[in-house]
A and B are shown apart, each in its own frame.
Chain A
């Protein structure tokens, strides 16, 4: 189709032809939705657990590594993928290899208390497939990165929109479906099991 023609016709229909619109409407979310530091942590844990996520609070990163080591050993995992931002190194992503992995670990860039969400700005330091292909996903969450609401993450990401990642992900609990007679089943396409280690001193 002829784009210019199309836009001319469209502008005639909206009745604002060629005019810059006023700024988009903004609204302050109710104050009750913003939590203090301690409450943010508590709400994040509560909401994550409600989604079926296993949450541990650890004093520092070393403690998280030890806990993860124990989990991997106790489950007998031999194929683990770790994102560079969680201390691993990945040269290239082979889809089949990642799909055969048993556990994927990466670091969250933000977390949202209200919805129990992990936020990943995926990229070279955290490829998309780490948190997508293995059936069990693990996330390191620095305590200071927990905010109250999704809107806060959007505002922050928007402020740095010149270096916006090609893929921003909010992940809230395990992959799930209720498509068969409304029965909740987890792990349909993404990871069916999610572990979170909140690092208190970060």
Chain B
């Protein structure tokens, strides 16, 4: 595993921001996802109400997680599936590897799952000589390129079509064009064969339904359906917080999830699996195993960070984050990138390991504003920073920056001056409100992106003026 200290973080960021294509790809991703999401939300009556309800369902489930987890396990078992509760990544890996060995598995197809990335499952299976194939197109591309995902919804956004053509051509033994349609058709052909021959399918699980013991999977490509239908053994791996009380509770979640993730009203496929193949069924897996992974989650329960468990992994916070836009997913050095990763990674894998992440945010609040599950991401980031500073874990530079910020923030007058000063000081470099080539310390920043000109009227003075006016809704 790579080292996750601050210096390594800075090195990864430096590499990312100097990558011209990556910067373009990240901008394009955000500029595609953002407006699509906005449009589809605009057309849905009462978006804020849907968010409230999603948050309420998730909050309720997490608050009673012991109850729902017990109920879920009982119902999954009652449907003839086997459940394994893994305390950590090692236990989960060992169970799945042991199971695959016991069943004489030689080839495995996987559909996209963040939690299997979290437990580093592929390497463990490959060490046993098994073939493990990622079948989500984006995951397949980066698996062939031997890279980790850079986005939780679009794992290969950092790859150009020419790079994909090169990777696939090497596999095909002939030159493929960089037409996305041709590349997609090639992947279909290769992967279809893998699906038909695989002994085991491994999937994630978007949600487990406690009252019915069902597994809910969403996908656009159909690979989740294939992985859970064709191989004789299906293993579903899920984070232990990913539950809902009952089928009805899925309504708001399924309403906000695809809209937030990709700007779709619904994903192409939504599959609700309840147990393995039944008597009379003519297809479907003979065996179903559900591996429920704790790996640090129960440690978050009952702490100030509990609300992070409300997350439904839609990726909207990545698409809204100005820091992610600049540095991309790999810079975070963790399985979960972006604002959700900056909160979740230190909590799951340890604050020491990911001590730079909570500082990789400008606290602008964009993530919190888009989050359909109302995870208070900014508050959690601030809480984490405070926690780390209390434990003496922040670096000198961070402390200095904080000290400066703290002094300014303590004196409202000084803070106001500093903001006004920034506007005046940068005015000569600004064009249409953007600063394209900044002076001195800003030049490093503006080499790869524009710096917004500090507003003439600061948020603080605007707020003060606004407060005397009528209250406005969200």
Contacts and interface: CB of A to CB of B under 8 A. Distances in A.
Contacts of B275: 166
Interface in B57-107: 57, 60-70, 79, 85-87, 91
B122 interface: no
Given A21-B63, A150-B254, A168-B274, 17 more contacts: A10-B65, A16-B63, A24-B248, A32-B45, A47-B265, A114-B265, A157-B247, A161-B247, A166-B274, A166-B281, A169-B269, A172-B267, A172-B270, A175-B268, A183-B161, A190-B222, A190-B225
A146 to B, nearest CB: 15
Contact of A181 (B68, B161, B284): B161
B45 to A, nearest CB: 4
Interface in B200-236: 211-212, 214, 220-223, 225-226, 229-230
How many B residues are at the interface, by size bracket? 35 or more
Given A27-B252, A93-B283, A154 B247 contact: yes
A171 B278 CA distance: 22
B471 interface: no
B65 A24 contact: no
Given A16-B67, A95-B196, A158 B184 contact: no
Please list the 3 inter-chain residue pairs (A to B) with the smallest Cβ-Cβ separation, ordered nearest first.
Answer: A190-B222, A151-B251, A179-B138
B302 interface: yes
A182 B32 contact: yes
Given A182-B29, A190-B268, A17 B66 contact: yes
B278 A166 contact: yes
B460 interface: no
Contacts of B159: 180-181
Interface residues of A, number: 78
A115 to B, nearest CB: 4
Interface of A: 1, 3, 6-7, 9-17, 19-22, 24-27, 29-30, 32-33, 47, 90-93, 95-96, 99, 112, 114-117, 123-124, 127-129, 132, 149-151, 154-155, 157-158, 161, 164-183, 185, 187-191
A169 B69 contact: no
A173 B268 contact: yes
B64 A16 contact: yes
20 contacts: A1-B91, A6-B294, A10-B65, A14-B65, A33-B45, A99-B192, A99-B196, A127-B283, A128-B229, A150-B266, A157-B247, A158-B246, A166-B276, A168-B274, A172-B269, A177-B221, A179-B156, A182-B157, A185-B184, A190-B226
Given A166-B275, A167-B272, A179-B156, A15 B29 contact: no
